[in-house]
Structure 1
Amino acid sequence: MTIVVSYPHLQRSGEPRPMAAPAVWRAALWVRERLLGDAALVEVPVERVVGGATAFRVNGIDFAAHWDLEHGVTDENGCPALGVCEYDEGCPGAVLVSINRELTGDRADLLRGTVLHELGHAVFDAPSWVLYGRQRSLGLGREAEPHRRIFRSVTVGEGHLATSRTKGGDAIDWREWRANEFMGAFLAPPRLLAKRLSGLAAAAGLAPAARASRAVVGAPAYDETRSDPAAVDTVVGALAELFGVSERFIRVRLRRYDLLCRGG
C-alpha cells in the first residue's frame, strides 16, 4: 500500500513550507490512520508501522522506505546513534531508515519514539532529498555539485527526541521540530489523549482549569498548580502505561496540547 500524503511545500525543492504544530499533527494523524486504521488504538504496535510504512507518495514524489532494525547505527563521527533516516543518490527512489536496537534495548517506549521520529523525517525531509536526486539524474541545475550526495538525519540519543534545538542550543532546528511533533501526535493523538486524560483526571480529582484547551477544541484542560502533585503523577503514569511511552513524553504532549496548564 502506498501512503499518499500532502502538505504545503516548495515546488522547486520539495521542502516543506513553514507550518504550525497543528499542521504537523494533522499529517501525523493522516499517516497513522493509513497505517493503523483504528482511531481508538492507544498503544502503537511498532511492527505494524515498520511493516506498513514502505511506500510513499508525498506531494506527488514517489519513494520507497527500507527499514533496518538489525544492525548498528552511527553518526558522522562513528559514535553509536539511536536512529538515522538517509538518502543516497546511488539508490534513487528510496530512503533507508535504520534503528539501533542495541541502544533501545528492552525500552519499548524508546523504540516507539525512535521509529516514529525517523518516520517523521521520511515524511517531511525525504521528499526533497529524492527530488534533488531526480533533478541531478536529469542534469537540472546541479553542475556545481559533481560528487554524489548523501543526506542523513541522525538521532544521536534519547535527548534528541525531547529537544528541537540546534547543536549550539541557540536556535530551533525545524527538521527536528517537525519530526518530534510528528512523533508526538502519532504516538499520542491530541483528541485520544484528551479523552483518556478526562476519565483519569476525574477519578484522581485533578482541578479543572478556568478555560478549555486552546489546542484541542472542546477538550477540558486541567490546572497543575491547583492539583495534588501526587495525583498528577498518578495520572501521568497511567497515561504513559496506556500509550506505551515515557512519563516525560506524556508531560510534554499534555503541555503541547494545552491539556495540562499552570494557571489560566
Structure 2
Amino acid sequence: MPYLSKREIEAIATRVVNAYQRMVGTTGAMIQRVCPEVLIQNLLGLNITYRTLSIDGSILGMTAFDQVGVRIYENKYPIHFYLDGKTVLIESALTEPGANPGRLHFTLVHEASHQILKMLFPKEYAPGINHRHVYCCTDSSIRYGGRQVDWEEWRVNMLTAAILMPLDLLVKQMKAVGLDPKIRMLNRVFAPKEYQAFATVAENLGVSKAALSIRLKQLGLLTRNDLKDPYALVRVEPDEEELF
C-alpha cells in the first residue's frame, strides 16, 4: 500500500475530476456535480451490480481486483457471486425509496476509488502475502471524519470525498446559494438560513449533509459544526465542583 499525503490524494482527485469533465464535454464550463454511475461505467470502464450483501445491512459495497467469489444473499439465503475484477458490487437497499442518495453515491465512489488506486499503483497492489482479495465498504468504514484505524479505508474515503466534493465546485455551489466563502457556524436552530443553504449545496452535489460538513471542516471552510447536536451551543456542562 503506497503512502499518500492529503495533498497527494487531492491531486489524484483533481486528475479524476478533470478527466470526468473532459469526458462529459462541458465546453470549458465547470460541472455541476460528479455522477458516480457515469464516473464508474463511462470513465473507469467498470460494471455496477446491485445485490443484497448482508443480512443486517452492515456491508454497503464490495470490489476486487481479481476473480474471486463472495457471499451475497437472495431471499435471505446465502449464495455465491463471482467478482471479475472489474465490478463494483453495491447493496441494493441503498437504491430503495427513502434511502439516502448521498450514502449510495459515497459508497459507489468509495468502491471506485479502490479501483482508481489500483490503476495508478499496480505494483503496490500486486498479489502477495499481504494482498487483500476483497475490499468491503461497511457502514462504519465510510465515516471518514472520525477515527480511522484502517489506513487503506481512510485513504479511500479521503479520495472519495475529494472526487464528489472538489474544492472549486464546492466554492461555486456555496456562492450560488449565497453562502460566505467560509461558514462560521453550521446549526439548524441558531443559524437556520445558513443551514438551509448548506442543505441545498449537499442536495445539489448529491452527497449527505454529514459528508459535506466533514469535507468543509477539513478544507477549513467551516468553523463550527453543530450538525449532530444543534443545542450544543447553549448546553451548560456542570463543573466538577458542582457535582459534590
TM over 0.5: yes
Q: Distance in 1 between matches of 2:141 and 2:52?
A: 18
The percent of aligned pairs where both chains have the same amino acid is 20
Q: 1:102 to 1:70 in 2, by over 3 A?
A: same
Show the 5 A alignment for 1:86-235.
86-88=64-66, 94-106=85-97, 107-125=100-118, 127=121, 131-133=125-127, 151-157=133-139, 159-163=140-144, 172-202=149-179, 220-224=181-185, 228-235=190-197
Aligned equivalent of 2:199, options 222, 225, 237: 237
Compute the RMSD of aligned alpha carbons: 3.4
Q: CA deviation at 1:32?
A: 2.0
Other-structure match for 1:29: 14
Q: Distance in 1 between matches of 2:67 and 2:124?
A: 8
TM-score of the two chains, using structure 2 as the length reference: 0.68
Q: Deviations over 1:178-215 (max 9, x none)?
A: 1111111111111210222134345xxx6xxxxxxxxx
Total equivalences in the alignment = 201
TM-score of the two chains, using structure 1 as the length reference: 0.63
Asked whether the 8 Å contact 1:164–1:173 carries over to 2, the reply is no
Q: 1:239 to 1:129 in 2, by over 3 A?
A: same
Other-structure match for 1:247: 209
Q: Distance in 1 between matches of 2:194 and 2:208?
A: 15
Q: CA deviation at 1:256?
A: 1.3
Q: Distance in 2 between matches of 1:200 and 1:68?
A: 33
Q: Deviations over 1:73-131 (max 9, x none)?
A: 34xx997521012233679x944321122344244322211111111111225745885
Aligned equivalent of 2:2, options 12, 16, 19: 16
> Does 2:42 match 1:45?
no
Q: Distance in 1 between matches of 2:185 and 2:56?
A: 43
Other-structure match for 2:61: 83
Q: Deviations over 1:117-153 (max 9, x none)?
A: 11111122574588523xxxxxxxx7xx6xxx76122
Q: Distance in 2 between matches of 1:241 and 1:79?
A: 24
Q: Deviations over 1:40-77 (max 9, x none)?
A: 2122223311222445xxxxxxxxxx423233334xx9
Q: Distance in 2 between matches of 1:261 and 1:164?
A: 15
> Does 2:38 match 1:68?
no
Q: Distance in 1 between matches of 2:166 and 2:60?
A: 24
Local SS of the residue matching 1:224: strand
